[in-house]
Structures are given as C-alpha cells and as structure tokens.
Amino acid sequence: MIRIENISKSNSHRILYIEASAALNRGEKIGLVGPNGSGKTTLFRMITGQEVPDEGQVSTEKNITIGYFSQDVGEMSGVSAVTEVMDGAGPVSVVSAELRELEAAMIDPDRMDEMEEIIERYGEVQARYEELDGYGLESRAREVLAGLSFTQEMMDGDVGKLSGGWKMRVALARILLMRPDVMLLDEPSNHLDLESLIWLEQFLRGYDGALLMTSHDREFMNRIVNKIIEIDAGSLTTFSGDYGFYEQQRAQNEKQQQAQFERQQAMLAKEIKFIERFKARASHAAQVQSRVKKLDKIERVEPPRRRQAVAFEFLPAPRSGEDVVNIKGVHKAYGSRTIYEGLDFMVRRKERWCIMGINGAGKSTLLKLVTGTADPDKGSVNLGASVKMGYFAQHAMDVLDGEQTVFEWLESEFPRAGQGALRTLAGCFGFSGDDVEKKCRVLSGGEKARLVMAAMLFDPPNFLVLDEPTNHLDLDTKEMLIKALSEYEGTMLFVSHDRHFLAELSNRVLELTPEGIHRYDGGYTEYVERTGYEAPGLRS
C-alpha cells in the first residue's frame, strides 16, 4: 500500500535517512521505533506528502485513504467535541455539512423563492448521507469518545474549553471514526489514562486497515503490532513480530555481528603480524605481497552500532523510620464533589504503592495530600521520622530557570558535584553532547520533565512520590529509569498508566473506586491476576 524506496533526507544539517527502504502492506500493524530525533515524525510527514525526501520516493496506492494523528492538533473551538470528531470522518462529514446548510436554508425566509431547488437537493444529499450511514455517525462518534473517557457533558461542551491533553483525544477520535485504509499514529498513547489506553488497544486490534505507529508504551505496542521498522543511523530495518521479539532479535543480531567482528579482527591482527615480521625478508616477499593483496580485498565487518544508553545508579539514601506516612480520618472535597471521606492509609518503609483509579477518583489528590501541596478538610497526614521526600509532578517543571542552560541549572542545584558526574547524569536522561547547552526555556515539556527528574534522583530521597513519571520518556530512557528504580532502596508512592512500569516496580496496590478503597498485597501483576482486570474502570 505504501512503499518507501531508497530515500535520503537531511534536516538542519543532520542526516536522517540514507538510501532507506521499507513497505507497509495491507493488514499489517507496524511499530516504528528509534531514538528521539531519529526521524520518526519526518517519515510520517513524507508519507502524507507534507515533506518530500531529498532523494528516492515514497509512493502510495491510488484511492487509499490515510488518517494521520500527530502531536500538533491545531486550533479547536466554537463547536462541540462530538461535532469536531464527526467533521473529520471523511466524505460523510462533507455530506453532513451540506445537509446542515440545506436545513438552515429551508427555514430562511429570504430564500423562499429557491425552496423547490433546495428541497430537491436536500433529498439527493439525504439519500447520499443514508448511503454513507451518516445517521449512525453520531452514535459511533460518541462511542469512540466514550472509549477515550469523555463524559456526555464533555462531548457536548465547547471543544475549545478542553485542556491540551483532551484536545489530543478529540484529534485521535477523528482518525478512529474515519477508519481510513491506513492509519498513521504518532504517539497515540500519550495523554491517555489506563482505561482509555486499553480501549484503544482493543479498537486497533479489531481495525482491519494497515497501521504504522510510534509509542513509548512497550506493553501497548506489544499487544498491537506484528512487525517493527527500526530507524537506526539513517537506515530502516524491518523485523517480523512484536516489540519484545524485536528486542530479542536485535540483541541476537548484535551478538552475532560482534562475534564476526572479533573473529575478523583476530584474523587481521594475525595477518598484519606476519606481514610486519617478514616484510624485510626477500625470501618471504611473494608471501607478504600475497597477504597484503588478500587484506585489501577483504570486506571489513563493522562492530555493531550500540545505542547510547547510560545506566543510572542511585547514591545511597538515608534510612527512614519504619512508618513513612500515616493518614488518619482524612476528608477531602472540591466544591460539592467529595473525594475522600474518612480515609485511613499507612505507608511503611520499602513499600512501593501504585495508586489505581479512574479519572477523578482522587489519585493525584492523594499524592498532593501526602506531599503537603494540598491540605485535608478534616483528619491528619503525618510523615514519619527521618523521611526525606522527593515529589515529581508535572508542575515540578516550574523550578527551572529559563535563562540557564541545562548544565548551568544542574551546576546551580549541585555546586559541589564534579562536571563529569553531572554530564553523566544529563546523558542518562537524554541530554548528550550539545543538548546540555540548551536554555531551559526552549526545552520541550518532556525535556523539562526529564531534567527535573534527573536532579531529584541525583540527590536521592528515601521516599519518592511520583505522578505519571514516564510521561514523555522514550522507551530507552524509560527502561533506564525502571532499572534504576528497581534497585532503589527507599519507599515509593506513585501513579502511572504504563503497565510495564507498574508491573516492574509496585509491591502494593491501592485501588480507588466509587464503592470504596481496596488494598492489595503484591504488585500490579498480582492485582491483575486476582481481580481479572487491568484497571479499575474495566471492572465488570
């Protein structure tokens, strides 16, 4: 359906692709992977014709429809969310718009003399609308929005009043409702809660078109894709199977290539040693010449290209007392909405609690109560002895000084740390090379989040409170963070919609539901096994 043939592409003096080729065939669901900045979004833009390759070509079959979801959603306002979604549904939305115009014309007293033509045209358009199942469109639009966690009130309200994250969901819903022949989805799992993520997963598994997508959620990708295209050093390499299989295959390929490289290097060293030893002897001149010619003809094996992934290790944190947080009889409400009524909750040393609950259940509120950024209406929240707390939330980025560079800000936070240690820290969190010279004010939301988290973990607390810590982290950085936190000796309380993160790091689950609060010993994996569902909003 889509062929990428020998493309080369440079962007701001940076080479993204060198004679790269790949294909997207009918029914394939492909995950596009590669480090940040490797050219994933550029590839999407070349497929949609928004950019062109410097060399080579990207060709698509005639008459196929392509739906492209990107992080840049554009302006939305003045209509309801459901109307905005319906307007993106392809041909039926154009017919729907004309139908609305004709309905307005039929009650316009200034157009009475045109009424016969208007009514005739209305009949034609209405027939076409029925043919396209237009009357089922609104119910399908509402079904998609409900799957993405919209309430009826949000569906019918002005889309312009929604936050950026909810507008992203509206833009995604437009593509899903359209059901094009090919879907290009650039990070569709961003900004979604766990319930929406699982609904989207099921929707895409049932979608019969071709799919090319990026995602920083490995579990989400694993359950959908049947092929991986990897961008690495300007080339496109295709692997059959899901993301987990790709990781295994890539590691195996690297191991084989390393073994070939080492064998060849040993052979070359042996030959060079012979040449060096006997080149001055006339009796060995013919043999030496023969071996020199042989070496010139050998095709050299390159060592495997290894992604730069720096391991991050925690400095030891001071030990806290056994009781880390004690919440007693807490009531909390926002206006008429009660969040907690008589909450009792204790966190003990080395426990790793993940907080589960649908949107509005009070997950972030609980973290705010624990960290003192919100006060209970009644009851008490007390930290235990020797507790040193670190709190990561999206608003934590406010601490950055926009005029300082990344490195200057780290130096101001840790004046006694050596330059080497701070550069290693920055590299762990995706700031390598010249990236440390960027001003904080030009950083993206994801870069700011990574920088604040780097600073928090460099001087480790013994109690970590994390609100969606993996938002904006790419797969490699996320893996590094999970590995580092798995070796962390302190206590954790966190909210995340990343199932891999939840499964790897939790050893307790606190589930917030309308029926009450439930505690589970064992981590997220045991929670799923015991309850039979992956998120509270999916309870039967």
What is the band of 309 on the pLDDT scale with cuts at 50, 70, 90? low
pLDDT for res 452: 86
**Average pLDDT, stretch 44-49?**
93
147-175 residue pLDDT tens: 999 999 999 999 999 888 899 999 999 99
Element (H, E) at 259: helix 243-278
Q: Which of 84-88, 96-100, 302-306, 529-533 has the lowest mean pLDDT?
A: 302-306
> What pTM did the predictor assign?
0.81
Above 80 in pLDDT, residue 95?
Answer: yes
* Contact partners, residue 228, CB within 8 Å, separation at least 6: 30, 31, 32, 33, 238, 239, 241, 242, 243, 245, 246
Smallest CA-to-CA distance from 22 within 221, 234, 175, 206 is with 234
**Residue percentage of the chain with pLDDT more than 90:** 50
Cβ of 482: how many Cβ atoms within 10 Å?
17
Distance from C-alpha of 99 to C-alpha of 155, rounded to nearest angstrom: 21
More confident residue, 165 or 52: 52
431-447 residue pLDDT tens: 878 889 999 888 877 78
Element (H, E) at 85: helix 81-86
Q: Which tokens sit at 337?
A: 């909405």
DSSP per position, 268-320: HHHHHHHHHHHTT-GGGHHHHHHHHHHHHHPPPPPPPPPP------PPPPPPP
184-214 residue pLDDT tens: 999 999 889 999 999 999 999 999 999 999 9
Mean pLDDT, the chain, rounded, equals: 89
Please provide the size of the chain in residues.
Answer: 540
* Contact partners, residue 232, CB within 8 Å, separation at least 6: 34, 38, 305, 307
Above 90 in pLDDT, residue 493?
Answer: yes
pLDDT for res 540: 55
What is the band of 401 on the pLDDT scale with cuts at 50, 70, 90? confident
**509 beta partners:** 354, 520
φ and ψ of 278, to 5 deg: -110, 5
C-beta of residue 213 within 8 angstroms of C-beta of residue 227: no
HEC string for 383-400: ECCCCCEEEECHHHHHHC
Q: Which tokens sit at 525?
A: 């994996």
Above 90 in pLDDT, residue 282?
Answer: no
HEC string for 454-489: HHHHHCCCCEEEEECCCCCCCHHHHHHHHHHHHCCC
C-beta of residue 182 within 8 angstroms of C-beta of residue 24: yes
Position 194, amino acid = L
DSSP per position, 179-207: --SEEEEESTTTT--HHHHHHHHHHHHH-
pLDDT for res 308: 55
Burial of 210 (0-12, 13-18, 19+ CB in 10 A): buried
Above 80 in pLDDT, residue 63?
Answer: yes
What is the band of 52 on the pLDDT scale with cuts at 50, 70, 90? very high
Above 80 in pLDDT, residue 396?
Answer: no
Above 70 in pLDDT, residue 306?
Answer: no
Distance from C-alpha of 413 to C-alpha of 436, rounded to nearest angstrom: 15
* Contact partners, residue 416, CB within 8 Å, separation at least 6: none
Smallest CA-to-CA distance from 34 within 242, 241, 216, 299 is with 216
Distance from C-alpha of 303 to C-alpha of 291, rounded to nearest angstrom: 23
Q: Which of 14-23, 278-287, 527-536 has the lowest mean pLDDT?
A: 278-287
C-beta of residue 21 within 8 angstroms of C-beta of residue 7: yes
Distance from C-alpha of 363 to C-alpha of 357, rounded to nearest angstrom: 7
**Residue percentage of the chain with pLDDT more than 70:** 98
pLDDT for res 353: 97
Smallest CA-to-CA distance from 340 within 354, 328, 352 is with 328
Q: Is 149 left (phi over 0), alpha (psi -120 to 50) or beta?
A: left
